[in-house]
Amino acid sequence: MHLSLTTIIAAATFIGEVAAHGYVPLLRINGKDISGWDITKDPYATPQPLRVVRGTKLDSGFISDVTSTDITCSIGNQKLPPGPIQATVAAGGTVQVLWNTWPLGHYGPVLNYMAKCPTSDCSTFKGDTGTPWFKIQQDAFVNGVWASDTLAKSNFTYNVHIPSKIAPGSYLLRHENLALHGASNLNGAQFYPVCIQLTVTGGGSLNPSGLGFPGAYKATDPGIHFNVYQSDAVNAAYVPPGGSVYPGLN
Ligand SMILES: [Cu+2]
């Protein structure tokens, strides 16, 4: 009975998701609002608006192929801003990511990575070759709730804590919802990465790297090919893909 009910809920979630995934039209840093990428307006504006959030193709859809360069910064990773732009945040500070919406039941972790841009201008950096990325923060199944549902219940907001000991400079922040509601099927996981161009001030001398997007994820990773409809105990033991948070960041 319980299994069949969760199957029905999963099916209903799947049907309902065509219209409503989510995107990031707004950031907040130190109480200041910064425009993100508004899928309802920005793709249609001429000239292309200058945004600190990387633009995406004309939808808010997910990536399911972890070997695609879309896994780096969302669908159409080749689309770069028309000029330099970055939001400034202090090392040790917080970037609030305000999604327009996020559906309950898209169970999964929220994962956050950074990569140092090779020059001071991040707008020319795709980040899709080599291993420039490092993981800074992740939340999975905490106190019986998936991080995705916590985000949905928190005004669709997630707070990214910028490490205090990284070197100052220009960075891409890769913030990602990983939806596992269909992930018991191989290639059924849905990735929703969002890249944000930052100037980090202060900080220390740490220059971490080591992960590639694509590269860090495999379709068969236990944190990607995973059945969320088993038990709280199984979910609590869930290990996100991409490894541990880089040590010594704070
Ligand atoms: Cu969805």
Residue ranges of domains in the chain: 22-236
Measured in Å, residue 62 CA sits from the centre of ligand 1 at 7
How would you write 139-179 as a 3-class SS string?
ECEECCEEHHHHHHCCCCEEEEECCCCECCEEEEEEEEEEE
Measured in Å, residue 72 CA sits from the centre of ligand 1 at 18
pLDDT of residue 61: 85
**Pairing outcome for strands 169-179 and 110-116:** antiparallel
For the domain bounded by 22-236, which CATH number is listed? 2.70.50.70
Measured in Å, residue 217 CA sits from the centre of ligand 1 at 20
Measured in Å, residue 99 CA sits from the centre of ligand 1 at 13
> Are 77 and 202 contacting, i.e. CB atoms less than 8 angstroms apart?
no
pLDDT of residue 76: 78
Closest CA to 194 of 104, 243, 241, 127: 127
Q: Which residues of the chain carry a pLDDT beneath 50? A: 1-19
Q: Kindly list the protein residues that place their beta carbon closer than 5 angstroms to ligand 1, a single-atom ion.
A: 17, 21
The string of pLDDT tens digits covering residues 18-41 is 446 899 999 999 999 999 999 999
Whole-angstrom distance, CA of residue 96 vs CA of residue 132: 23
pLDDT of residue 56: 83
Measured in Å, residue 75 CA sits from the centre of ligand 1 at 14
> Are 187 and 180 contacting, i.e. CB atoms less than 8 angstroms apart?
no
pLDDT of residue 21: 82
Whole-angstrom distance, CA of residue 118 vs CA of residue 169: 10
